[in-house]
Amino acid sequence: QVQLVESGGGLAQAGGSLRLSCAVSGRTFSMYVTGWFRQAPGREREFVAAIRWSGGYAYYPDSGKGRFTISRDNAKNTVYLQMDSLKPEDTAVYYCASLRSGSYWELTSYDYWGQGTQVTVSS
């Protein structure tokens, strides 16, 4: 199994920045891609970014990288999500997840999920 623990969420002002962390443990040798998703109240969980552990290739929604940057530290088994120029609409619970197989932008491709970390952006 793979365990994922998110941290770094909190309250930020519009225009500010936050960096989320996702610490991965367990069967880390089986990791291929780790992704970030978010879910706002009353909305579906949506893809934010993903990264391949080998080579560090990053993937973002079709709309482009935007204000978020994903990175990883293989030595620490940790994936980061740097969020800049935050907007109130970025308010959501942010989750990281480990890819099992399939498309990196699809929820069903991921089998292990963290508990989530709340991000609240005030205007």
- For 1-22, write each residue's pLDDT tens digit: 899 999 999 999 999 999 999 9
Q: In a 10 Å sphere around its CB, with 0-12 CB exposed, 13-18 middle and 19+ buried, how is residue 51 labelled?
A: buried
Furthest CA-CA distance within the chain: 42
65: pLDDT confidence band, cut at 50, 70 and 90? low
Beta strand pairing call for 10-13 and 117-122: parallel
- Comparing 21-25, 60-64, 89-93, the range with the smallest average pLDDT is 60-64
- For 21-36, write each residue's pLDDT tens digit: 999 998 776 678 999 9
Mean of pLDDT values over 66-84: 95
Mean of pLDDT values over 110-122: 97
